[in-house]
């Protein structure tokens, strides 16, 4: 079953975050991940949204998403994101088969 990673990110060090972002896309491919959306200023239609950036990533299944997150490709760049931003990162199951 497909899963989606949704990240709400507040960036406080743009230079370091941009370094992370420059290496991000290649980390997805080995795990079947696809970046579906990345918006620095998403439009709020309802409720409050306190973070500035929204990312949505699709994976074929939860195992692939977890393998990506723990994998050497992502681990090589994630320190820059952790130091450059605050984030809420969620994983949600999709409907049906991937």
9 assigned to some structural domain: yes
Domain residues for 83? 3-43+50-93
98 assigned to some structural domain: no
Looking at residues 2-30, what average pLDDT do you find? 97
71 assigned to some structural domain: yes
Predicted TM-score (pTM) of the model is 0.90
20 assigned to some structural domain: yes
CATH code of the domain in which 18 resides: 3.30.70.100
pLDDT digits (tens, 9 = 90+) for 28-82: 999 999 999 999 999 989 988 777 899 999 999 999 999 999 999 999 999 999 9
Query: What total of structural domains would you count in the chain?
Result: 1
Q: Residue 50 has what pLDDT? A: 75
How far are the Cα atoms of 2, 16, 35, 82, 97 from residue 19, in angstroms, in the given order? 29, 5, 17, 12, 35
pLDDT band at 98 (very low <50, low <70, confident <90, very high): very low
3-state helix, strand, coil in the chain (%, to 5): 40, 30, 30
Q: Which two tokens stand for residue 17?
A: 């975050």
Q: Are 10 and 51 in contact (CB under 8 A)?
A: yes
pLDDT band at 8 (very low <50, low <70, confident <90, very high): very high
């Amino acid at each position: 079953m497909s899963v989606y990673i949704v990240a709400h990110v507040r960036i406080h060090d743009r230079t370091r975050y941009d370094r992370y972002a420059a290496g991000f896309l290649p980390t997805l491919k080995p795990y079947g991940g696809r970046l579906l959306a990345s918006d620095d200023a998403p439009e709020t239609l309802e409720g409050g949204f306190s973070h500035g950036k929204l990312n949505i990533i699709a994976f074929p299944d939860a195992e692939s998403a977890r393998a990506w997150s723990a994998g050497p490709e992502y681990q090589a760049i994630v320190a820059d994101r952790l130091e450059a931003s605050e984030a809420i990162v969620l994983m949600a199951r999709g409907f049906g088969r991937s």
